[in-house]
Amino acid sequence: MIRHIVALKFNPDTTESTKRSIFADLAALTPLIDGILDFQMRENVSPEDPVVHGFRDLFWFDFRDAKVRDAYLVHPQHQAVGARIVSATEGGPEGVLVLDFEV
């Protein structure tokens, strides 16, 4: 299984409504791609502000395997929501941190 974790540093002017919409669009990918096992979103509640670097929102997908992850990466709906994420984060791609690992 591949766990795909994404930490986000949203622009200060990004509304909670926009965040909820982005996360809803991500969750909507689950039934569209066979092999997505789980989707979760959370707020980073770490008190270690100096090392959090503003990455206060995160989500993750659990994929059956790397093939499913790769299908997710090129899926048109993922591409669309990814563009929305980049436009809503500080520094665009610099406001997004992606970690993939085998579980």
Calculate the CA 85 to chain-centre distance: 8
pLDDT tens for residues 22-61?
999 999 999 999 999 999 999 999 999 999 999 999 999 9
Q: Which CATH architecture has domain 2-102?
A: 2-Layer Sandwich (3.30)
Q: Determine the average pLDDT of the residues in 5-30.
A: 97
Name every residue whose Cβ is closer than 8 Å to that of residue 88 and which is 6 or more positions away in sequence. Answer: 10, 11, 14, 18, 19, 22
The per-residue pLDDT for 89 is 98
Q: For residue 60, what pLDDT is reported?
A: 98
The pTM of this model reads 0.95
Q: What is the DSSP string of 5-19?
A: EEEE-B-TT--HHHH
* CA dist list (Å): 95 to 6, 53, 79, 89, 102: 10, 10, 17, 5, 24
* pLDDT for the residue numbered 73: 98
